[in-house]
Amino acid sequence: MAALLFVPAGTRSWWQAWTFLAVYFASSLALTLYLIKEDPALLQRRMRGGPTAEKEPIQKIIMLIASLGFVGLLVVPALDHRFGWSQMPPYMTLAGNVLVGAGWLAIFFVFRENSFAFATIELAPDQKVISSGPYALVRHPMYSGALVMLLGMPIALGSWWGVLVVAVILPALIWRLLEEEKFLAENLAGYVAYRNSVRYRLLPWVW
């Protein structure tokens, strides 16, 4: 991630990037240490992800789009910084880092509630429907947390152009969400009833 930021930017003198990396990796490390101690099985499930880990061709395509979009969230702000395409005031950068941290916090609550949060679309033999915690608000709270984090990334890096990359990732995220719902409805006992009881998929009171 540091290479994707500093190489296109052409400089290491970029405080927004250093601040973002500190927030991102501190949050990631804290969550990893939590899983090592409290739920190593979930950590193992999260270690295998990305396009090559998916079994279905459609999921490989979706994850490829999402992966390229994630790279774009770093490279586009870096180019923006290098060529001065847009400017953000410092308080926006700090707000972006708050969003990144909030996204990680939301994912923590998901992991604390659901030990079956695979990085790929699949089921464990003993998997059951989770309807408590954040799952009582939306059916896909990890995607909600990820969306907050993704939105925060280009803002933390001070790039309005980077925010536009989120618009590229969002359709892939929604596509994956809908495919996952279809898979769970067909294969996980009790999911249809849960889907009918929790109205919103991604954003409470919106959709």
Residue 92 lies in a domain: yes
Identify the CATH number of the domain in which residue 106 sits. Answer: 1.20.120.1630
Which of the four pLDDT bands, split at 50, 70 and 90, describes residue 58? confident
Residue 7 lies in a domain: no
* CA pair distance 59, 107, nearest whole angstrom: 21
Residue 100 lies in a domain: yes
Residue numbers of the domain that contains 125: 13-197
User: What's the pLDDT score for residue 41?
Assistant: 86
Task: Using the predicted structure, report yes or no on whether residue 46 has a pLDDT greater than 80.
Answer: yes
* CA pair distance 205, 24, nearest whole angstrom: 28
Which of the four pLDDT bands, split at 50, 70 and 90, describes residue 62? confident
Count of all residues that appear for the chain in the document: 207
User: What's the pLDDT score for residue 117?
Assistant: 83
Phi-psi region of 117 (alpha: psi -120 to 50; beta: other; left: phi over 0): beta
* CA pair distance 12, 105, nearest whole angstrom: 28
Residue 193 lies in a domain: yes
Q: Tell me which residue of 125, 163, 141 sits closest to 41, measured CA to CA.
A: 125
User: What's the pLDDT score for residue 78?
Assistant: 98
Phi, psi at 120, each rounded to 5°:
-120, 165
* CA pair distance 83, 34, nearest whole angstrom: 40
Task: Using the predicted structure, report yes or no on whether residue 56 has a pLDDT greater than 90.
Answer: no
* CA pair distance 149, 175, nearest whole angstrom: 18
Do 155 and 98 meet the contact criterion of CB atoms below 8 Å apart?
Answer: no
Task: Using the predicted structure, report yes or no on whether residue 156 has a pLDDT greater than 90.
Answer: yes
Residue 153 lies in a domain: yes
Residue 5 lies in a domain: no
Do 23 and 97 meet the contact criterion of CB atoms below 8 Å apart?
Answer: yes
Amino acid identity for residue 39 in this structure: D
User: What's the pLDDT score for residue 154?
Assistant: 97
Range 96-105 average pLDDT: 97
Which of the four pLDDT bands, split at 50, 70 and 90, describes residue 34? very high
The total of structural domains in the chain comes to: 1
Q: Tell me which residue of 99, 190, 174 sits closest to 140, measured CA to CA.
A: 174
Task: Using the predicted structure, report yes or no on whether residue 113 has a pLDDT greater than 80.
Answer: yes
pTM of the model: 0.90
* CA pair distance 16, 24, nearest whole angstrom: 12
Task: Using the predicted structure, report yes or no on whether residue 151 has a pLDDT greater than 90.
Answer: yes
Residue 148 lies in a domain: yes
Task: Using the predicted structure, report yes or no on whether residue 26 has a pLDDT greater than 90.
Answer: yes
